[in-house]
């Protein structure tokens, strides 16, 4: 039997992937989560893409989650009067809150974020255009930040500004984000990603707005500010407040420096899994495939490294949104994930050993994984679930045993598409006599050739199939 890919694939939809044919090709290539980037495109563009994803996934009996990614307070320079400029090392350059926003020159440009003058001090480094141009602050007055160029290069309109080490005080949620949260609720999105959160309080505020809009979407915190990784306490605060995190390596790498990025990526993945949360690894994973049909060896290693660290998902951005080879990028990513999973760093886990558990369903989930990893005959774990919480907890444990999320809820079926090593099976236990539930559940996998007579399975369920968080039973059953 061919091994099933455990690591999930998130791909951003955009101009290159808006037609029914392209979206269908992405889904058949292995797309698990479609990302809508609210920094680009009109609301009607997103509505159309959501409709196509849902229709095509249903036609192929696939479960594809959809994530809306909020733009957040990206701090930018304004525009240049005569088009792009060229800055050289040693040039003086001023960022002004009073300069006209469309009249930038090689000496001065307006900024669309007036509090920058309060956030900067002499000696600070400002990184423009994802670090391609670097400025050192010489002085600050009430209306401008005066700098000297230390790393030069071309600079064009609306490029982003980061401060080395973080410390930009912009609030996490903008008026546009609030509008996009209402759109996410209208479209019944499964996940909402929050850009540039500084603390758990930012995520709590986003969750309040998402629920007030009538959405039950899970909240993903994008880790992209230096403050978010300044200490374990700061990182854990963000992780605990969210349902999952994204290692957003673009802005994070600019703020902390590229030398520290790989080690911090591993720390974020480890902390998220320890705290029973999802984790997505993102940004430039296969950047060369924007214009090339094959990835570089370095990109193959980058994706495989995240897989071996047990990330839930790896993500494509421009590669699938605007690149020339979006389908090939998903195919390559699926191939690399499968290859890396053939060489696991470990099939045993020390997850939460020595700790006490706070919930009954968590206790059942972790007991199931201990049994699965220590009883060689176990070929599958079946979790009858309402919310998907039990299979999520199970998937935090390193194991080679597939986990099947049996649920009657469409929202849970789609949500589980992001969980590593978890596969969705539509199933309504409440419609069956209690004595027949176990055999009916086993029968579905047997009919698909996933179980053979003599195999063992673990089945978890609650006494009442309508209670979220009610998993309280574990059975070990033999396939006959």
In this prediction the pTM is 0.92
Average pLDDT over residues 458-465: 80
Q: Kindly tell me the burial class for residue 405, based on how many C-beta atoms sit within 10 Å of its own C-beta (0-12, 13-18, 19 or more).
A: buried
Residue pair 222/192 in contact (Cβ under 8 Å)? The answer is no
Token pair, residue 457, equals 């399975």
Give tens-digit pLDDT for 11-39: 999 999 999 999 999 999 999 999 999 99
The residues assigned a catalytic role are 35, 76, 222, 283
Helix axis angle, 200-212 to 175-186, nearest 10°: 50
Indicate the average pLDDT of the chain.
Answer: 93
Integer Cα distance of 372 and 365 in angstroms: 11
pLDDT above 70 covers a percentage of the chain that reads: 96
Give tens-digit pLDDT for 261-313: 999 999 999 999 999 999 999 999 999 999 999 999 999 999 999 999 999 99
Beta bridge partners of 35: 12, 67
* Strand ranges across the sheet with 108-110: 108-110, 92-96, 144-151, 133-140, 125-128, 161-163
- pLDDT reported for residue 357: 74
With CA atoms as reference, report the closest residue to 459 among 362, 389, 372, 350: 372
For residue 210, pLDDT beyond 90: yes
Specify the higher pLDDT residue, 345 or 108.
Answer: 108
Give tens-digit pLDDT for 382-423: 999 999 999 999 999 999 999 999 999 999 999 999 999 999
Query: 130 CB contacts (<8 Å, ≥6 apart)?
Result: 160, 162, 250, 251, 254
pLDDT above 90 covers a percentage of the chain that reads: 84
Average pLDDT over residues 332-359: 78
Specify the higher pLDDT residue, 376 or 189.
Answer: 189
Give tens-digit pLDDT for 425-448: 999 998 999 999 999 999 999 999
- Across 232-377, the runs of DSSP E, i.e. the strands, are 244-248, 278-282, 313-316
Average pLDDT over residues 467-472: 66
* pLDDT interval class at 359 (50, 70, 90): confident
Give tens-digit pLDDT for 46-94: 999 999 999 999 999 999 999 999 999 888 899 999 999 999 999 999 9
CA dist 84 → 63, 102, 130 (Å): 44, 12, 16
Average pLDDT over residues 235-254: 96
- In the chain, the N- to C-terminal Cα span, in Å, equals 20
* pLDDT interval class at 214 (50, 70, 90): very high
* pLDDT interval class at 360 (50, 70, 90): confident
**SS3 label, residue 216:** coil
For residue 174, pLDDT beyond 90: yes
Over the Cα atoms of the chain, what is R_g?
Answer: 24
Specify the higher pLDDT residue, 358 or 297.
Answer: 297
- Least confident window among 171-175, 199-203, 297-301: 171-175
Integer Cα distance of 44 and 57 in angstroms: 20
Pairing of the two strands 8-13 and 403-407: unpaired
For residue 186, pLDDT beyond 60: yes
Maximum pairwise Cα distance, the chain: 79
Integer Cα distance of 239 and 70 in angstroms: 18
**SS3 label, residue 359:** coil
- pLDDT reported for residue 167: 84
- pLDDT reported for residue 468: 56
Residue pair 97/116 in contact (Cβ under 8 Å)? The answer is yes
- pLDDT reported for residue 462: 81
- pLDDT reported for residue 470: 72
The residue count for the chain: 480
For residue 352, pLDDT beyond 60: no
- pLDDT reported for residue 346: 59
Pairing of the two strands 161-163 and 125-128: antiparallel
């Amino acid at each position: 039997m061919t091994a099933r890919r455990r690591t999930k694939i998130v791909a951003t939809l955009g101009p290159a992937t808006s037609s029914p044919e392209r979206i269908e090709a992405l889904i058949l290539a292995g797309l698990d989560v479609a990302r809508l980037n609210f920094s680009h495109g009109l609301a009607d563009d997103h509505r159309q893409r959501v409709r196509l994803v849902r229709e095509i996934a249903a036609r192929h009996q696939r479960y594809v989650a959809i994530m809306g990614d909020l733009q957040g307070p990206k701090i930018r320079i304004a525009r240049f009067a005569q088009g792009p400029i060229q800055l050289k090392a040693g040039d003086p350059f001023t960022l002004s809150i009073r300069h006209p926003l469309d009249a930038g020159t090689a000496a001065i440009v307006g900024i669309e974020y007036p509090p920058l003058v309060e956030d900067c001090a002499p000696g600070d480094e400002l990184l423009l255009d994802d670090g391609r141009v670097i400025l050192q602050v010489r002085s600050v007055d009430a209306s401008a930040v005066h700098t000297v160029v230390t790393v030069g290069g071309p600079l064009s309109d609306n490029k982003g500004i980061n401060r080395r080490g973080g410390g930009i005080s912009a609030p996490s949620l903008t008026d546009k984000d609030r509008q996009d949260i209402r759109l996410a609720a209208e479209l019944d999105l499964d996940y909402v990603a929050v850009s540039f959160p500084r603390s758990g309080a930012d995520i709590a505020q986003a969750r309040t707005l998402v629920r007030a809009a009538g959405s039950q979407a899970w909240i993903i915190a994008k880790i992209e500010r230096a403050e978010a990784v300044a200490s374990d306490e700061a990182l854990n605060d963000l992780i605990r407040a969210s349902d999952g995190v994204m290692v957003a390596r673009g802005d994070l790498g600019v703020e902390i420096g590229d030398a520290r990025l790989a080690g911090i990526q591993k720390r974020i993945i480890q902390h998220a899994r320890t705290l029973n949360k999802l984790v997505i690894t993102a940004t430039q994973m296969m950047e060369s495939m924007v214009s090339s049909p094959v990835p570089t060896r370095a990109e193959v290693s980058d994706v495989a490294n995240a897989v071996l660290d047990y990330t839930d998902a790896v993500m494509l951005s421009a590669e699938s949104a605007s690149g020339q080879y979006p389908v090939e990028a998903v195919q390559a990513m699926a191939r690399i994930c499968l290859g890396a999973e053939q060489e696991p760093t470990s099939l045993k886990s020390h997850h939460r050993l020595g700790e006490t558990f706070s919930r009954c369903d968590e206790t059942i989930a972790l007991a199931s994984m201990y049994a699965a990893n220590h009883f060689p005959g176990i070929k599958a774990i079946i979790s009858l679930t309402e919310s998907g919480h039990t299979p999520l907890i199970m998937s935090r444990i390193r194991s080679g045993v597939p986990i099947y999320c049996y649920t009657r809820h469409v929202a849970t079926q789609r949500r589980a598409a992001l969980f590593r090593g978890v596969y969705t099976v539509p199933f309504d236990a409440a419609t069956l006599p209690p004595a027949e539930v176990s055999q009916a559940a086993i029968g579905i996998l047997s009919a698909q050739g996933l179980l053979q007579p003599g195999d063992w399975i673990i089945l978890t369920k609650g006494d009442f199939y309508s209670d979220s968080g009610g998993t309280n039973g574990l059975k070990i059953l033999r396939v006959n």
